[in-house]
Structure 1
């Protein structure tokens, strides 16, 4: 193995938690049974890294096999790094006919045609997702396998999820995705999170949604605190209404995991007569950020418990309804706007 292969291998092994290394190396199927038995996973991490590296050296493993181990780890542990969503638009008539083989050929052909040195590896996961690993180079340098870009796409859906993409490579990747999926263009989805699982659940509607309904019996199963009978009777109607509104806005049951929602303000101070309170033409600019380990759960609890007034403001319900967590609020009114560009993918 050359120096680059050893660097990539050590980086991959160091990132894998000790409790996951054994099963992952067995699935990798590149080490012999004796070599696997010789590994003591209770030892310090640096010793495990060096021993695995020596075994790979003895087996003359190449870069393709090492990057395969890295992809296996990322596929089994998708909620790492920061993922950004993009949306394919203007689908052509034959977009629904694109199969995996055709997608691979078109995607690789385009990137190999515009970037001289590039490494592309694809895997189809059990959930029908196509995982793509891209190590970028240029006309003068070889692909950098230490900082690859990861792309996840479900064929025949309009969403693409991207992690660790540099701005200078964005145009090449977007062109390849548009051509391979037979769409007209691709746009920023204004959604980013560390949880790829939560992002897919939100955009592909894989969580338990609740739609407005005059009969809310499906929402009655919830934990309630004991209270005085008279007080409980007086407030039960309000509690049911708040619970119904919170579930309609953020779903019922486990919610997609999002950590933040960002609102960028471009407004002016106005009085009761809707007149500006300052003669200056410049906007008042600021950023409001909501953060939580599980933001949608927190917002749902705030509404259901009465901490936030109902009905739920469109500024918050738009997170699930529009599948975004980055918004721009302009001076045109209280509606949610997306005229400004979102964060880079």
Structure 2
């Protein structure tokens, strides 16, 4: 085992809790069963890591095996690192017929043709997600396996989820995805989160949703906690309405666990009559960031409990409606002479 393989293996093993180490190595299937049964996973982490590395060296395992272990670890633990979404656009006529073998061939052929030193691994997961691991090199350096890019794509959907992609490699990956999926272009999705699961649930609509309806009482009876009879009689109509609005905006059940939503402001100070207070000045720029361990659940609770007034502002409901958590709010007033409008 060379130094590169040892470094990658050591990094993966340091990330895995001792209690999960055995299960991960079993899925890897590169070490004999009798050796795995003899491993004492209660040993100190440093000692355990060195012992497993020694077993790998005894079995002549190399970089190919180690990178496969890293992929298994990431597939089993998708909610780590930072992920951002991209959307494929303008599909060609035969885009719906693309299958896994064809995708692999086209994707690898394109990247191998434009990057001299590169390592590509593609693995299909049980949920039909295609996991891609890319270690980038260049004309003078071998692939850097300590900083690989990961991309996840479900065939016949328009979304790709990417982690750890350097700006200089973005054009190569974008072109390879366009060729392999038979799309004409790919655009930024303006959705970033630490949880790949939340990102997929939100964009692929894998969470309970409620659409506008006049049937408020059904939602109330099914989901709301019991109230004191007197309070229920006095406020039931208002509470039903708030609950309906919250469910329509953020769903009735567990919502995808996004941590942040960012709103970039490009506005001007205004006085009475919507007149700007400084017509000739530049935009006032700022950033508003909402943070929570489960942001959509927090918004749902605020609306349903009456902490936030309804109806839900489109700035918040757009998170689920558009599948984004980054927005730019621009000034919609008259543009001063000599200045261009900043709108997105």
TM range (shorter): over 0.9
Over aligned residue pairs, what C-alpha RMSD do you find? 1.3
User: Is 1:272 aligned to 2:272, yes or no?
Assistant: yes
Q: How does 1:163-174 map to 2 (within 5 A)?
A: 163-174=163-174
Q: Structure 1 residues 132-141 or 213-222, which shifts more?
A: 213-222
Distance 1:143 1:339 in 2: 41
Rounded Cα–Cα distance in structure 1 between residues aligned with 2:21 and 2:179: 38
Write the deviation string for residues 239-296 of structure 1: whole angstroms up to 9, x where unpaired: 1100000000000111011000000000001123111011333000000000000000
Once the two structures are superposed, residues 70-127 of structure 1 have per-residue CA deviations (whole angstroms, 9 ceiling, x without a partner) of: 1011101100100000000011111111111111111101101110000000000111
- In structure 2, runs of 5+ residues without a counterpart are 334-341
2:307 counterpart residue number: 307
Q: Give the aligned partner of residue 48 of structure 2.
A: 48
Distance 1:28 1:339, change over 3 A: farther
* Deviates further, 229-238 or 4-13: 229-238
TM-score (norm: length of structure 2): 0.95
Rounded Cα–Cα distance in structure 1 between residues aligned with 2:310 and 2:271 = 24
Question: In structure 2, what is the Cα distance between the partners aligned to 1:183 and 1:323?
Answer: 20
3-state DSSP class of the match of 1:270? coil
Counterparts in 2 of 1:318 and 1:174: CA distance versus 1, 3 Å:
same
Shift of 1:339: 5.6
Tell me the distance in 1 between the aligned counterparts of 2:169 and 2:190: 19
Measure the CA separation in 1 of the matches of 2:92 and 2:71.
31
Structure 1: gaps spanning 5 or more residues:
341-345
Which residue in the other structure is 1:222 paired with?
223
1:69 aligned residue: 69
Residues paired across the two proteins, number: 335
Aligned to 1:36: 36
Which residue is 2:336 aligned to?
A: none
Report what 2:290 is aligned to: 290
| 1:254-269 map, 5 Å | 254-269=254-269
Partner residue in 1 for 2:128: 128
Match of 2:86 in 1: 86
Structure 1 residue 8, shift from structure 2 partner: 0.8
Q: Report deviation, 1:17.
A: 1.2
| Partner residue, 1:343 | none
Residue number in structure 1 paired with 2:199? 199
In 2, Cα distance between the equivalents of 1:237 and 1:339? 40
Structure 2 SS opposite 1:61: coil
Does the 8 A contact of 2:331 with 2:343 survive in 1? no
Q: Could you tell me how far apart the structure 2 residues matched to 1:40 and 1:339 are?
A: 61
TM-score of the aligned structures, taking structure 1 as reference length: 0.95
